[in-house]
Structure 1
């Protein structure tokens, strides 16, 4: 039995793009997450059904490869498939294509189910995971962990606003991307294109928290390391690969 794939089309509108004229990576990840939610609704595994059991899906890591970010008025196809799972982790793949079937972005993500009250990971219930027809495996993927920042090239501080909190009562993923990339200079962001990103979530951030975003830039290799902290606690790490826009 092969896992069920889900696809949906989306027309990019101008307010989903930034000053570069492309969709920000955080916004694009949000659109891919929406596709996975729509698949879950189609299969009857709604967020409401999971919430009634005191549970909620949480992403622990994304690995993203970017050929080209979509632009305003592009019609893109968002595809996703829950490929495999074990007792605690669900591995899901995503793909973004243009109207001609050209791959623009691909993403591999790791999900867990969290007990909302105890804030602990729980075993994946059979009735929740079965509808996806994903392959069961005992293997736990050993994905590369992003390295932490050692030599700070840039730093910014933010306070988590009420509007930053989503229905799961923690900071929406898109804000982590914005905080991380905003620590880079506008000159760098205007003249370089993101090609790869490995982002790992450690601890949740909550309303009112004061967060610090630090970046380490290796100009020779065009790589960056990113770190989000609240006090002494590491909340999110990422490594990025860039290329200069010609």
Structure 2
């Protein structure tokens, strides 16, 4: 839900600037997330009012970088997220160059630099791996005709045991998307608990690896 709220703020800003989903789709394109790095200082509480802020920070020919913050009413930073977006050609299913008319309204900085963000850790096959399978439903699909990226979080967290989730709080997550998941696919979600403060995850279909993630946790009473 935290990620959903931040992504909605991004869409709200795009709508205000006239870069609507329809405008992008009419060009045969769609925005696709390739990586999120999320840091959580503390989760918002029930009934707490928060402020969600976002900024399109920078871009180059193929990648757009956006930052998000969630703050309390008093201005305390509760969580932040750094996200990498690309434009996907809907017909060729390949990354397309960023078009000036789709990026200039954000007034973000152009950079030749391509960020080298760390990859999530990998599952070690010699240790115990927890896994479940899921059928992709029609309601899991977004306007780009593939699974909304927030659903991956559900699949990853659902594999972890309840006693772990009840006694741990997420402090950081690095999630990287490799390949699209479509309606009708059967998803295999694998997870591995490393020690007591880290989990690593992967999402696969019969087409191959789709997503990997690494989570850091803190234990609480």
> Separation in 1 of the partners of 2:89 and 2:47?
40
How many corresponding residue pairs? 219
Equivalent positions of 1:1-246 (< 5 A) are: 27-150=1-124, 151-220=127-196, 222-231=197-206, 233-246=208-221
Which ranges of structure 1 fall in alignment gaps of 5 or more residues? 1-26
Residues 102 and 185 of structure 1, relative CA distance in 2, 3 Å threshold: same
Conservation of the 8 A alpha-carbon contact between 1:196 and 1:241? yes
Q: What residue ranges of structure 2 are gaps of 5+ in the alignment?
A: none
Counterpart of 1:173 in 2: which secondary structure? coil
141-150 vs 60-69, which deviates more? 141-150
Task: Give the C-alpha shift of residue 71 in structure 1.
Answer: 2.2
The Cα of 1:148 is off from its aligned counterpart by 2.3
**Distance in 1 separating the partners of 2:65 and 2:90:** 21
How far does residue 153 in structure 1 lie from its aligned partner after superposition? 3.0
1:147 Cα offset (Å): 2.4
What stretches of structure 1 move > 3 A for 4+ residues in a row?
A: none
TM-score normalised per structure 2: 0.96
Distance 1:189 1:146 in 2: 20
Equivalent residues of 1:58, 1:113 under 8 A apart: yes
What displacement does 1:231 show?
Answer: 2.1
